[in-house]
Homo-oligomer: A and B are copies of this chain.
């Protein structure tokens, strides 16, 4: 009934992001879905795992800042493009309208409805990957995705990634409340 697939990562889908950094003095963006949330406290830490071959890594190490931008479905072409071409060969600094936050060296994409500005906290050094752990300094959102003071994912329309099918997925509908729908089992 269960098939053992071997030591394969099946922790999908994960949200697609564009990780921004200043590399050799210019903004650069890389598509990254191998992200994570570390804790739920102040400060909050998130992670982004980047292969060591990428152009972006040196910029994050140099400035100790990076951004995590969440693109909408309608940005799928530009988002995918940033995962296909390297900043080594292609200048991605003019692909988007950008803005800076308080850290100055973490470029953020105006069109992305959600932008998270991070100060580098630590790097987990795997043989083939740098896992950048960032302390969240600020989150910026487009006014039109805010409802009741928080981000409304229905309006963000984030994309999700799955390595198995190499696909971008849409987010569906909310259908149950956390810390609530399970209460019915408490009475049993």
* Interface residue ranges, A against B (CB under 8 Å): 1-15, 17, 33-47, 49, 51, 68, 70, 73, 76-85, 99, 101, 110, 114-116, 122, 124, 126-129, 131, 133, 136-143, 146, 150-153, 158, 160-186
Contacts and interface: CB of A to CB of B under 8 A. Distances in A.
A17 B101 CA distance: 33
Chain copies in the assembled complex:
2
Contact of A7 (B42, B122, B168): B42
Given A38-B131, A49-B38, A4 B140 contact: yes
A15 B172 CA distance: 13
A135 B6 CA distance: 12
A171 B14 CA distance: 11
